[in-house]
Amino acid sequence: MGFRLSKIYTRTGDKGETGLGDGRRVAKDHPRIEAIGEVDTLNSQLGLLLASLAVEVAEYPALQELIEVLAPCQHRLFDLGGELAMPAYQALNALEVERLEAAIDAWNEEVGPLENFILPGGSTLIAQAHVCRSLARSAERRCQQLNAVEPLAGPGLAYINRLSDLLFVAARVIARRQGVAEVLWVAAAKPGS
């Protein structure tokens, strides 16, 4: 593969537009660019989660499996970004969605049913997994907004939806494998009680 970027700045976006992979120019706040940006933000935060897991795996070897499952997701998010930047391009396939579902099922069996609402906390890793989960939901919303204006082909919408589910269960698995209690939601006291 040759060089993809020979110049980092081009000055072509200084007036509020950016180029898509198919040559089209759109406003930087176009729904397609919003979706690309949210997917990129998620990918960056997922990279932080993976780096943090790599640091902790020496103390908690069972976290290695999370790295093995989540690391390919960075590549698939990059594929999804490519699909968003080049509307005719198709990189994701249904097998990727099935891979996430299989991991969700296996991990969910490990942690058991959710009996209470949980909060993003307990450890830095757990909280970071929840940051990624919430960003996956945000990316999904932006992709759905784009889909309402310019219908998206392929399994990208299903993939980002399953990824948010995977990240939720990953947070629970991290808690279990670190031996950290999940932070349970405590409802506010009712007035007069």
Indicate the pLDDT class of residue 2, thresholds 50, 70 and 90.
Answer: very low
- As a whole-number percent, the residues of the chain with pLDDT over 70 amount to 88
Number of neighbours of residue 11 by Cβ within 10 angstroms: 7
The answer, yes or no, to whether residue 6 has pLDDT greater than 70, is no
For the chain, which residues make up each domain, given as ranges? Answer: 25-182
Chain center to CA of 10: 29
What is the band of 88 on the pLDDT scale with cuts at 50, 70, 90?
A: confident
Length of the chain: 193
> How many degrees, rounded to 5, is the angle at CA 178 between CA 140 and CA 183?
60
Task: Output the pTM of the full model.
Answer: 0.89
Q: What is the pLDDT of residue 3?
A: 47
> Of 95, 91, 4, nearest to 39 (Cα)?
91
Q: How far apart (Å, rounded) are the C-alpha atoms in residues 59 and 84? A: 39
pLDDT exceeds cutoff 80 at 75: yes
> What is the CB-side half-sphere exposure of residue 119 using CA atoms within 13 A?
8
Instruction: Give me the mean pLDDT over the 55-66 stretch.
Output: 97
Q: Which CATH number fits domain 25-182: 1.20.1200.10, 2.40.50.140, 3.30.300.20, 3.40.50.2020?
A: 1.20.1200.10
pLDDT digits 0-9 by tens, 112-147: 998 899 999 999 999 999 999 999 999 999 999 999
pLDDT at position 1: 43
Higher pLDDT, 11 or 33: 33
pLDDT > 90? residue 62: yes
Residue 62 Cα distances to 35, 58, 102, 111, 163, angstroms: 34, 9, 18, 14, 21
Contact (CB, 8 A) for 4 and 15: no
Of 166 and 6, which is predicted with more confidence? Answer: 166
The tokens of 103 are what?
Answer: 């991991």
Mean pLDDT confidence for 12-26: 68
CB-based burial label for 191 (10 Å; 0-12, 13-18, 19+):
exposed
Q: Which residue has better confidence, 158 or 2?
A: 158
Kindly give, in sequence order, each residue whose CB lies less than 8 Å from that of residue 82, ignoring residues fewer than 6 positions away: 21, 89, 91
Is residue 118 classed as helix, strand or coil in its secondary structure? strand
- On the question of pLDDT at 93 being above 60, the answer is yes
Show the DSSP H helices in the chain as ranges.
31-56, 64-85, 94-111, 124-149, 156-178
